[in-house]
Amino acid sequence: MLAIVDLSHKSHSRLGTLSLGEGQRLGIATALLGNPQYLVFDEPTNGLDPMGIKWFRNFIRKQADLGKTVLLSSHYLTEIEAVADDVVVISKGKVVATGELREVMKNIEKLEDVFFSLTEGGVQG
C-alpha cells in the first residue's frame, strides 16, 4: 500500500515526522487495505502542495479506471472540475444540480460559476 501512495521511502519513519500531505497519503493507504469498491474523500487536497495535488488527481483517476467508485466532497470547485466525471451540487442542504460534469456546466466555463448561478441567481464575474 505504501508503494501505491508513493510513501515506500517513509516506511521506517515515525508518524509524527510525516508532513500533512504524507499523513493524508498514509490514511489513504490504510483505507485501501481492505480493497474497497467505494472511496469517499472529504476535502482531500486540503493542505497538499502542488505535487501532492497532482499525485492525488492521478491516484483517483487510476482508482476510477479500476472500476472503483470515488466520491469527493470539496469546496474547491476547480479541483472537482479537474477530476470529476459526474457532480452533485448541494446548497443549504438541498441538491440543486446533478449529472455529468459537462452537462451541469452547459455553456458556463467554470464549475464555480455554475455553483454561483445555481445558488445566488447569476454568474459572478
Q: What is the mean pLDDT of the chain?
A: 88
Residue that wins the pLDDT comparison between 68 and 25: 68
The answer on pLDDT for 39 being more than 90 is yes
Is there a domain that residue 124 lies in? no
Question: Which helix (H) or strand (E) covers residue 105, if one does?
Answer: helix 101-105
Question: Where would I find the beta strands (DSSP E) of the chain?
Answer: 38-42, 69-73, 86-91, 94-100
Q: What predicted TM-score, i.e. pTM, was given to this entire model?
A: 0.76
Averaged over 12-36, what is the pLDDT? 88
Is there a domain that residue 125 lies in? no
96: helix, strand or coil: strand
Distance CA(91)–CA(13), nearest Å, equals 42
Is there a domain that residue 14 lies in? no
Averaged over 13-36, what is the pLDDT? 88
Q: Residue 97 belongs to what domain range?
A: 37-119
pLDDT at position 87: 94
Q: Which residue has the cell 499523513?
A: 23
The answer on pLDDT for 12 being more than 90 is no
The answer on pLDDT for 125 being more than 70 is no
Determine contact, residues 69/38, Cβ cutoff 8 Å. yes
Question: Which helix (H) or strand (E) covers residue 11, if one does?
Answer: none
Distance CA(58)–CA(38), nearest Å, equals 17
pLDDT at position 73: 92
Distance CA(80)–CA(72), nearest Å, equals 8
Residue 103 belongs to a domain with what CATH number? Answer: 3.40.50.300
Is there a domain that residue 28 lies in? no
| Total domains, the chain | 1
Q: Kindly report, residue by residue over 53-83, the tens digit of the pLDDT.
A: 898 999 999 999 999 999 999 988 888 898 9
pLDDT at position 121: 62
Is there a domain that residue 10 lies in? no
Is there a domain that residue 112 lies in? yes
Is there a domain that residue 68 lies in? yes
The answer on pLDDT for 124 being more than 50 is no
